[in-house]
């Protein structure tokens, strides 16, 4: 095994431990300039599935008129409506000002979420961004954003109905390993 692989494993474990221990500390950090909500599965009727709904409900605590923009990132998976469009509609129905909402609807992976949103962040003068996703996903979010030189102000875990399953964590670790081996991290 080479040194970079061990470095990857160590940094992954370190990030997982940080994500699990920082919940109380991040609430004290003032908000970033922009907010980014990562997409998740939608139902066949083009409404948010559980994970997307949890991310969106969490976002309502952080969307304020002081934000420069709220980036909604997620494309079309399984020939369904783009996730970003579903998120936008849900937030508008909850009373969020549609002028704040900017959609990125081409991405189909976490890497593409950031790759395709980077220009939107720059266009809206977002020097620092808060990102909402699920706790198990945040280590990869941090690594991908860092690899694309996106300044993450804070990572915000979605409030979940149920705890993460071992399979979710296992799949996330597999995805991080794949990102590393493919050169995306």
Assess contact for 116 and 107: CB atoms under 8 A: yes
CA distance 158 to 147: 23
Residues 6+ apart with CB under 8 A from 134: 40, 51, 54, 55, 157, 158, 160, 164
Provide the pLDDT for residue 22.
Answer: 44
pLDDT at 43 over 60: yes
Place of tokens 């961004």: 129
The answer to whether 128 and 151 are in contact (CB under 8 A) is: yes
- Between CA 20 and CA 10 the distance in angstroms is 16
pLDDT over 70, % of the chain: 78
How far is residue 179's CA from residue 160's CA, in Å, rounded to a whole number?
Answer: 26
Record the pTM.
Answer: 0.81
5: left (phi over 0), alpha (psi -120 to 50) or beta: alpha
**Token pair listed for 106:** 């081409």
pLDDT band of residue 53 (cuts 50, 70, 90) is very high
Residue 52: pLDDT above 70? yes
Q: How confident is the model over 75-79, as a mean pLDDT?
A: 84
**Residues present in the chain in total:** 185
The residues pairing with 36 across neighbouring beta strands, listed in sequence order, are 71, 131
- Rounded Cα distance, 153 and 136, in Å: 18
């Amino acid at each position: 095994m080479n040194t970079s692989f061990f470095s990857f494993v160590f940094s992954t474990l370190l990030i997982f431990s940080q994500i699990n221990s920082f919940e109380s500390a991040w609430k004290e950090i003032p908000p970033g300039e922009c907010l980014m909500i990562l997409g998740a599965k939608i139902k066949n009727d083009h409404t948010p599935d559980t994970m997307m709904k949890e991310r969106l409900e969490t976002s309502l605590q952080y969307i304020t008129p002081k934000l420069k923009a709220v980036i909604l990132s997620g494309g079309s998976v399984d020939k369904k409506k783009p996730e970003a469009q579903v998120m936008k509609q849900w937030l508008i129905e909850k009373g969020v000002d549609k002028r704040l909402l900017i959609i990125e609807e081409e991405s189909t992976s976490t890497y593409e979420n950031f790759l395709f949103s980077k220009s939107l962040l720059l266009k809206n003068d977002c020097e620092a961004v808060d990102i909402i996703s699920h706790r198990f996903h945040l280590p990869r979010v941090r690594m991908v954003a860092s690899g694309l030189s996106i300044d993450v102000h804070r990572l915000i875990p979605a409030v979940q109905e149920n705890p993460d399953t071992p399979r979710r964590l296992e799949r996330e670790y597999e995805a991080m390993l794949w990102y590393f081996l493919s050169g995306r991290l």
